Amino acid sequence: MPAQPPFRVIQWATGAVGSYALRSVITRPEFELSGVLVYDPDKIGLDAGPLVGLPETGVHCDDDVDRVLAADADCVLHMPLPAAYFGGDYAADLETVCTLLASGKNVITTTGFIYPQVYGPAVVERLESACRTGGTSVYGTGINPGFMSDLLPLALSGLSTRLDHIYVRECSDFLGHPSRQIVMDLIGFGRSPKEYALAVRPFRTVQRALFSESVQLVAGALGVELDEVEETDEYDLATEEFEITAGAIRPGTVSASRWIFSGLVRGRPFMTVECVYKSDASKVHRWPKPGFALHMEGIPQLMLTVDEVTHGLAGAAAHAVNSIPAICTATPGIHTVLDLPLTTGRGTARLP
């Protein structure tokens, strides 16, 4: 039986997560890099390999969307900042994804699309139409949420005879996160409370969209119809000055934030996701320590904790990269964690 030829992949954006994905695409034999779309002018024309500390590949970074679209590829790893960061909205990302799909390229995206059905039949039909035109599929992995707040609860639900409440908590330490755009500009660390109140609006839009999709996906899979997804958020201020990779945190500026998203049924939460971001967990003592917790309340009661996740950005990238074979061989259309095979890292195993 002939071997499967490599899946040809375009890397769309090379930020913090995109760089990890690009490194995997270059180094794994089951993939072939077809093109790289960049937004940073300093990266234009650079070979993709040295950009991520690897030998030259012969594939150069480009900022011309039409040229990148013209490249032959089976899949696009779509990993830019969400359009809301730039003052846009979901429709802008939707248009880009649909253009890629209609061009004949499958799309795996971290900008959302975890469960696009929450936006109504018009959005679903727009995506399905693009998939029909290109004979392609789309799959949203998300960065946060993604896996821990949707795939993992659904996997554990198979042990339940009754579910009353699902509670997911994530606490992330951004001490070593390299992106100033994400940490300081989007999340708002290092800003005064007044500046934060204004700057966090795009991030709140992104968070509300992503977590609403994730919560609705889990509820829908379990046959629960939510009345609404309620969101609250708060922040904590630094009491001393310290440095993180993305910049300086000064006393009286925002050093942490806590977000809670609750899927409600008749006013009671069926699923709650608590998300805590800390600029430096050793300096911020309010709220839980970094890690993940999952409580499944019902029969039986289940609790799962993950004390530490190192290189969280690499994990987010791996979720997308490991999904390439499944999405490239799937039936054309919209796909979610509900209908794709469980993605694994078996293709990257390294044994002594």
Report percent pLDDT > 90 for the chain: 69
Residue 157 lies in a domain: yes
289-309 average pLDDT score? 90
- The residues that bridge with 167 in the sheet, in sequence order, are 272, 295
Which distant-in-sequence residues (6+ apart) come within 8 Å of 42 by Cβ? none
CA-based nearest residue to 327, from 69, 182, 155, 134: 134
CA separation for the pair 322, 331 (Å, rounded): 18
List the structure tokens of 120: 């109504």
Predicted confidence band at 107 (pLDDT cuts at 50, 70, 90)? very high
Look at residue 346 and tell me whether its pLDDT is greater than 60: no
Predicted confidence band at 147 (pLDDT cuts at 50, 70, 90)? confident
Look at residue 1 and tell me whether its pLDDT is greater than 90: no
Kindly state whether residues 133 and 205 are assigned to the same domain. Answer: no
Q: Determine the structural domain holding residue 188 and report its residue range.
A: 151-309
Kindly state whether residues 195 and 227 are assigned to the same domain. Answer: yes
Domain count, the chain: 2
Predicted confidence band at 103 (pLDDT cuts at 50, 70, 90)? very high
CA separation for the pair 348, 52 (Å, rounded): 18
Residue 318 lies in a domain: no
Kindly state whether residues 102 and 198 are assigned to the same domain. Answer: no
> Is pTM, for the whole model, over 0.85?
yes
CA separation for the pair 60, 320 (Å, rounded): 22
Look at residue 215 and tell me whether its pLDDT is greater than 90: yes
Look at residue 52 and tell me whether its pLDDT is greater than 90: yes
Look at residue 183 and tell me whether its pLDDT is greater than 60: yes
| CATH number of the domain to which 43 belongs | 3.40.50.720
74-85 average pLDDT score? 87
> What count of other Cβ atoms lies within 10 Å of the Cβ of residue 217?
26
> What count of other Cβ atoms lies within 10 Å of the Cβ of residue 321?
28
Report percent pLDDT > 70 for the chain: 93
| Exposure letters 2-12 (e unless 16+ CB within 10 A, then b) | eeeeebbbbbb
Kindly state whether residues 75 and 131 are assigned to the same domain. Answer: yes
Kindly state whether residues 108 and 248 are assigned to the same domain. Answer: no
Element (H, E) at 203: helix 193-221
pLDDT at 125: 97
